[in-house]
Structure 1
Amino acid sequence: MDPVIVVGAGPVGLSLSLALAGQGVPSVVLDEGPGKDEPRPARSVVLHADTASMAHRLGCTTLRDEGAYYAAWRTMRRGRDARRITFEDHPAPLHLPQHALTRGLRDAAAIHPLVRLITDTRLDALEQDGRGVTAHTQGAETTWWRGSHLVGCDGARSTVRKLLGIRFPGRTAVERHAVAALRTELPWPGEALLQRGATGEVTARPLPDGVWRLDWLLPPRGGLVTPDALVTLIRDTLAAWCGGTTPPYDLIDTGVHTLHHRLARRWRDGRAFLAGDAAHLLGALGTQGVEEGLRDAENLAWKLALDWHQGASEALLDSYEDERRRAVAARLRVADQALPALRGGGGLRGGGGLRTYLPGAARSAESLLTDGHLGRGALGGEPAYAPPVAVREVPTATEPGAPVANVPVTAPDGSTVPLRDLLGRGRLLVLLVAPGTGVWDRRHWLGAGLMPRLAAAVSALPVRAELLVADGYPGAAAHTVLLVRPDGHLAATFAGVRPAELYEAADAVRCGAPAAAQDAAPPLKETSVTPTGVID
C-alpha cells in the first residue's frame, strides 16, 4: 500500500510522520526547505504534560538537553509578588526553542525506516481518486508521488489548503509582542514569571544555561519597535526586577511576534487533511500553536493508521475534523471573548463581563492568564472530545472523552510504566483497576480473578487492544474497567467484565465497521508505483 504523503517538515509534520511510523505506516515527508533550521532562541514553544509525553514517545532527544522545566510560576502585580505556584502535584511545563524541537524530531525521523524525508521540494499540484492521492512536486524531486492519504502540515500559507480551495477566515494581528532571548541572572532561577502593572504586561520563561525569553505585550496601535526601544524595554524590565540596577546581560536574539486567529473552514477533503498552522492560527494567553498542532497529529495518526491497515469508516476519518476543529474553535472563542476584558481590565472586578465567558471569572486577571500559560482551564487545558457513545457505568475522576490520568500500569509481560508511555501504538488500551496487583507475581494475576475472562473479551474486540492492570485509578473503585483510545482519551468505563458492552464501545471508538471498498478510479496515466511511493 502507498505511504502517507506529509507536506511540511516542521514540528507537526515530523510528529505526524513519526506517529504513523510508530503504528506501522510509512510516510514521505515533502519539505520545501533545506532540512535544517536557523537557531532562533526567541522563537520557542511550551509543551505541557500530554504534548511533552508525545514528543518523548516519538524519540525527540532534545527535550532534556535543550529544554527547561519551570521550577515554579510566579505572578507579580505592580512590582510585588502576588502568587507563586509550584509543581509538586502536576508536571511542570517544558520550555524549549522551536528549532530544537524540530531538530530532535527530524533526527528521529531520519533514522526511522518508515519515514522518508525529501528536502528542497515544493508541492504544486494534487489529484485524488477513490484509493489515494497523487501529488506533483518541483525542485530537488520534480516528480509525481502516490500516497494513500495526504496531510498538509505546511504552515499558515499552506499550499495544500490553497490547492484544496479551503477558506481560512479569522482575525489578523490580534496582539503583538516584542520578544528577546538573553542570558542574564534573575532573582528567581528557573522560575517563569508574569508581571502586570501600569507599564504593561511582560512574561519571562527560562531556558537552559541561564537564557531567558522575555515577551512584552505591545500597544494595539503601536508603531515599529526600533532596536533602541527594545533595549530600553530590556534595561527597564531587568532593573525593575533586580533592585533598580540593570544586571549584565548578553542579548542573543530578538523579534516581534504578531498573533493571528484563523480557522480553516474544513480540515478534510476526501483523502487530504490539514493540520497545525495550515488548519488554525492561535497563540494568545500562553496557548501555543505548535502544541495544538501536535494534538492534531496525535488525533489524526491513529485514525489514518487504522484506515491504512484494515480500513476505516468515513465517520472515523470525519471525526478528526469534528474533534480537533471543535476543540480549537472553542479555544479561539474563549480567547477572543476574554482578551478585551483581560487586557483592558474591564469587567474583572467581581467577575463582571468575564463571568459570561470563563468559569471562575471572579478571580483576578492574573489567575486567568496564569491558567492559559500553565495549560489549565478553558484557556489552556487539554482538550476533551465528546465520545460517540457515552458509556459510563461507573464513575471515575475522568469524564468520557477527557485525557486519562498518567497512572503506573502493568502489562502482561510484567513491565510497569506510566500509562501515557503506551499511547500512540494504534491500539486500544483496556485497563483493569485491581488493587494489589503491583506486588503480585505476574504468574498469579494473569490467571486470577477477572483476568482470564477479561483477556478473552479483549482478544475478541474489533480493533487491536492491549490489556493492562493498575493498582488504582483516581476516583475508580476496584474492578473498574476503562477503555482508552490510542491517543489517550477515555472512551468508556465498566463495572467488571462486560464482553458485549466492551465490544460495543470499541466498535463505537472506530465509528463502526469500514465502508465497503470503492472501485478503483481510472489511472491518471500508465504508471508503476515503487515501494517509496514515487511514480515512475
Structure 2
Amino acid sequence: MDPVIIVGAGPVGLTLALALARQEVPSVVLDEGPGKDEQRLARTAVLREDTAALIGRLTGFPVAETGFRWAGWRSMRRKQVMREITFGEDDPTLLHLPQHVLTAALREAIGAERLVRVAVDSRLDSLEQEPAGVTAHTRGPKGTWWRGSYLVGCDGPRSTVRKLQDIRFPGRTAVERHAVAALRTELPWPGEALLHRTPPWRTSGPPVSEVTARPLADDVWRMDWLLPPGKDLVTPDLLVARVRETLAGWSGGTTPPYELLDTGVHTVHHRLARRWRAGRVFLAGDSAHLLGALGTQGLDEGLRDADNLAWKLALAWHHGPHEALLDSYQVERRAIVAARLRAADQALPLLRGGGLRSAVPGAARGHDALLTDGHLGRGPLGAPGAYADSPLAPPYAESAVEVDTAPGAAIADVWVTAEDGSSVALRDRLGRGALLVLLIAPGTVVWDRKHWVTAGIMPRLAAAVTALPHRAELLVAESYPGAAAHTVLLIRPDGHLVTAFGGVRPADLYEAAEAALGGPRTTAEAPAGKS
C-alpha cells in the first residue's frame, strides 16, 4: 500500500511521520526547504507535560533535559506582586525550549527511521484524489509525482494543501503584536517566568502595557512586549531601549549586563479552517488553525493534532478506511481549538480594553489570574481539551464508574506493570496503535507476576481483552487517581480515556472498544487488509 504523504517538515509534520512509523505506517515528508532549520532563540515552544512526553517517546531524545522547566511563576501589576506560584511534583510545570532544538531532535530521529523518507527542495504545486489514493506533484530541482494513500497538510499558515482543496480559513488577522527578544542575563528571580502588566517605568516610546519573561536553559530569557495597536515598525533602537529599561526596572534602576541573542516580532492571528478533512486529504497544525494570544501555544495544539490523527490513519492504512473513525479527527480536534479561540476572543476585550471594567474592584486580580492560567496551560484559555462529546464515546453502561479523569480527557501518568512483567510509565505504552486496558489491583507490586496473573479476576479480564475487536494491551497498576480496586480503564492509543468500569464486564468492554474505533464498519468499509 502507498505511503502517507506529509506536506511540510516542521515540528507537526515530523511528529506525525514518526508517530505513523511507530505504528508501521510508511510516509514521505515533502520539505520545501533544504532540510535544515534556522536557529532562532526568539522562536520558542511551550509544551505541556503530556506533549513533551510524546516528543520524548517518539525521538528517544531527552527533550525534558534540553528544554527548561520553570521553577515558578510570578504575576505583577505596576509595582505589586499579584500572584506567585512555585512548581513541584504535584504541580508540574511547562517545558520551554527553542523550536529549532525540537525540530532538530525530530529530524535526527527520522534520520534513523526506515519508514520515513524526507524529500527536500520539494514544494507541492498540485494534487489529485481518487477513491484509492492521492497523487501529488512537487516542483523544484527534483520535481516529480508522488503517490500516497492519504495526504496531510502540515504546511503552515499559507498552506498550499488548504488552498488546493479550496478550504476557507476565516478568522482575525493581527489580533496582537509582540516585540520579542532572546537575551542572556541574570534577573532577580532565576528560573521563574514573569508576567508584568502596566510596569511603572517609561523612558522611551509609547508606554509598555505588558511584558513577559520566560526562562530558557543557560541563563537565556525570551522576553515579549505587547505592542500598541497599529503597524508601527519596531526599530532596533526601540527594541534595545525596551530591553534596557525593562531590565533596569526589574533590577532597581540599573541595567544589568546582558547579551542580545535574537530579536523578532510575533504577530498573533486567530483563524480556523472550515474543514480539516477533504476525502483522503487532512489538515493539521498551523494549516488548520492559528492561535496564540494570552499564552496559548499553537505548536502544542498542532502536536496534539498529529497524535490524534496518527493512530486513526494507521488503523485505516492497515485495515482499510473506516469513515467514522477518520471523520472523528476533525470533529474532536476542531471542537477543541474552536473552544479555545472563542475563549480568547471573549477574554481579549476585557483584558485589553481598560475603561470602566478595569476600575471594578477585583477586576485587575481576576484578569491577572485569567492571564496566568492561559500562560500556564490551565483554565479556559490554556487547559488541554477533552473529547467529551466525541463521536467515539461509548454508549451508556450501568457498569461504568467515575475516576478523576473524565471520559475523553488525557489519562494521568502512573506506573504500570506490562504483560512482560516490566514496570513502566503508562505514557510509555501509548502511540503503538493498540488500545490499553488498565486494571487497578492494589498489592500486586509485592507479588511475582506469575502468581497474580492467574489469580482473581485476571484470567477473565485477559480473556475479555483477547476477544476485543482490535489489538489491546493489558496493564496493571497499584492505583489510579479516583479509582477503586478492580476498576478497569479503557484507554485510546493516543492516551485519552474511553471509559472506566467497576470490575470485569466483557460485553461492556467490547462495546466501548468498538465505539472507540468508530463503531461497526459498514459493508462498503470492509477491511481491505495490509499490503
What is the Cα deviation at residue 513 of structure 1?
3.1
CA distance in 1, matches of 2:60, 2:234: 35
**Length-normalised TM-score, structure 1:** 0.93
CA distance in 2, matches of 1:311, 1:275: 22
**1:258 alignment partner, one of 238, 256, 267:** 267
Letter in 2 for 1:384: A
Structure 1 residues 384 and 518: alpha-carbon distance in aligned structure 2, compared to 1, 3 A threshold: closer
What is the Cα deviation at residue 445 of structure 1?
1.4
Q: Deviations over 1:444-473 (max 9, x none)?
A: 111111111001100110111110111111
State how 1:218-233 maps to structure 2 within 5 Å: 218-221=227-230, 223-233=232-242
* Cα RMSD for the two superposed structures: 1.8
CA distance in 1, matches of 2:477, 2:218: 39
What is the Cα deviation at residue 350 of structure 1?
6.5
State how 1:340-489 maps to structure 2 within 5 Å: 340-345=349-354, 347=357, 364-385=366-387, 386-387=389-390, 388-389=393-394, 391=396, 393-489=400-496
Q: Which residue of 1 aligns with 2:508?
A: 501
CA distance in 2, matches of 1:82, 1:415: 46
Letter in 1 for 2:78: R
Q: Which residue of 2 aligns with 1:524?
A: none
Structure 1 residues 460 and 351: alpha-carbon distance in aligned structure 2, compared to 1, 3 A threshold: farther
Letter in 2 for 1:496: G
Preserved contact between residue 322 and residue 525 of structure 2 (Cα < 8 Å): no
What is the Cα deviation at residue 338 of structure 1?
0.5
**Length-normalised TM-score, structure 2:** 0.93
CA distance in 2, matches of 1:428, 1:160: 31
CA distance in 1, matches of 2:321, 2:461: 25
Q: 3-state SS of the aligned residue for 1:58?
A: helix
1:491 aligned onto 2:492: no
CA distance in 2, matches of 1:126, 1:331: 32
What is the Cα deviation at residue 431 of structure 1?
0.6
Q: Which residue of 2 aligns with 1:337?
A: 346
1:217 aligned onto 2:222: no
Letter in 1 for 2:162: R
Q: Deviations over 1:222-280 (max 9, x none)?
A: 51111111111101110111111100100010011100000001000000000000000
Q: 3-state SS of the aligned residue for 1:364?
A: helix
Task: Percent identity, please.
Answer: 69
Q: Which residue of 2 aligns with 1:522?
A: none
1:53 aligned onto 2:53: yes
Q: 3-state SS of the aligned residue for 1:304?
A: helix
Preserved contact between residue 313 and residue 513 of structure 1 (Cα < 8 Å): no
Preserved contact between residue 401 and residue 501 of structure 2 (Cα < 8 Å): yes
What is the Cα deviation at residue 71 of structure 1?
1.1
Q: Deviations over 1:381-432 (max 9, x none)?
A: 1110024225471111111111111111111211112211111111111011
CA distance in 1, matches of 2:8, 2:302: 12
Q: Deviations over 1:49-93 (max 9, x none)?
A: 121111111116262453111111111121332222122212211
CA distance in 1, matches of 2:107, 2:386: 29
Letter in 1 for 2:278: D
CA distance in 2, matches of 1:65, 1:396: 32
Q: 3-state SS of the aligned residue for 1:230?
A: helix
What is the Cα deviation at residue 304 of structure 1?
0.2
**1:511 alignment partner, one of 503, 518, 525:** 518
Preserved contact between residue 312 and residue 514 of structure 1 (Cα < 8 Å): no
1:182 aligned onto 2:183: yes
Q: Deviations over 1:333-378 (max 9, x none)?
A: 00011011012346466699xxxxxxxx996211111111111111
What is the Cα deviation at residue 311 of structure 1?
2.3
Structure 1 residues 348 and 510: alpha-carbon distance in aligned structure 2, compared to 1, 3 A threshold: farther
Preserved contact between residue 312 and residue 513 of structure 1 (Cα < 8 Å): no
Q: Which residue of 2 aligns with 1:289?
A: 298
Q: Which residue of 2 aligns with 1:2?
A: 2
Letter in 2 for 1:379: L
CA distance in 1, matches of 2:209, 2:412: 37
CA distance in 2, matches of 1:113, 1:464: 24
Structure 1 residues 145 and 516: alpha-carbon distance in aligned structure 2, compared to 1, 3 A threshold: farther
Q: Deviations over 1:92-142 (max 9, x none)?
A: 111011111111111111111111111001111111111111111122432
Runs (4+) of structure 1 exceeding 6 A deviation are 349-352
Q: Which residue of 2 aligns with 1:534?
A: none
Q: Could you tell which deviates more after superposition, 7-16 or 130-139?
A: 130-139
1:129 aligned onto 2:134: no
1:237 aligned onto 2:230: no
CA distance in 1, matches of 2:220, 2:227: 22
CA distance in 2, matches of 1:399, 1:362: 32
CA distance in 2, matches of 1:249, 1:341: 35
Preserved contact between residue 260 and residue 281 of structure 1 (Cα < 8 Å): yes
Q: Which residue of 1 aligns with 2:324?
A: 315
What is the Cα deviation at residue 42 of structure 1?
0.3
Q: Which residue of 2 aligns with 1:355?
A: none
Preserved contact between residue 66 and residue 97 of structure 1 (Cα < 8 Å): no
Structure 1 residues 84 and 304: alpha-carbon distance in aligned structure 2, compared to 1, 3 A threshold: same
CA distance in 2, matches of 1:362, 1:506: 47
Q: Could you tell which deviates more after superposition, 297-306 or 66-75?
A: 66-75
What is the Cα deviation at residue 518 of structure 1?
7.1
Structure 1 residues 475 and 351: alpha-carbon distance in aligned structure 2, compared to 1, 3 A threshold: farther
CA distance in 2, matches of 1:125, 1:113: 27
Preserved contact between residue 158 and residue 278 of structure 1 (Cα < 8 Å): yes
Q: Which residue of 2 aligns with 1:158?
A: 159
Letter in 2 for 1:148: S
Preserved contact between residue 21 and residue 116 of structure 2 (Cα < 8 Å): yes
CA distance in 2, matches of 1:234, 1:339: 25
Preserved contact between residue 52 and residue 64 of structure 2 (Cα < 8 Å): no
Q: Deviations over 1:33-57 (max 9, x none)?
A: 1101110000101001121111111
Preserved contact between residue 7 and residue 30 of structure 1 (Cα < 8 Å): yes
CA distance in 1, matches of 2:60, 2:178: 29
Letter in 1 for 2:84: R
What is the Cα deviation at residue 5 of structure 1?
0.4
Gaps of 5+ in 2: 200-207
Preserved contact between residue 418 and residue 476 of structure 2 (Cα < 8 Å): yes
Preserved contact between residue 178 and residue 255 of structure 1 (Cα < 8 Å): yes
Gaps of 5+ in 1: 353-360, 520-530, 532-536
CA distance in 1, matches of 2:258, 2:395: 55
What is the Cα deviation at residue 326 of structure 1?
0.6
What is the Cα deviation at residue 13 of structure 1?
0.1
1:173 aligned onto 2:200: no
Preserved contact between residue 391 and residue 491 of structure 1 (Cα < 8 Å): no
Structure 1 residues 2 and 470: alpha-carbon distance in aligned structure 2, compared to 1, 3 A threshold: same
Letter in 2 for 1:372: G
Q: Which residue of 1 aligns with 2:112?
A: 111
CA distance in 1, matches of 2:456, 2:358: 55
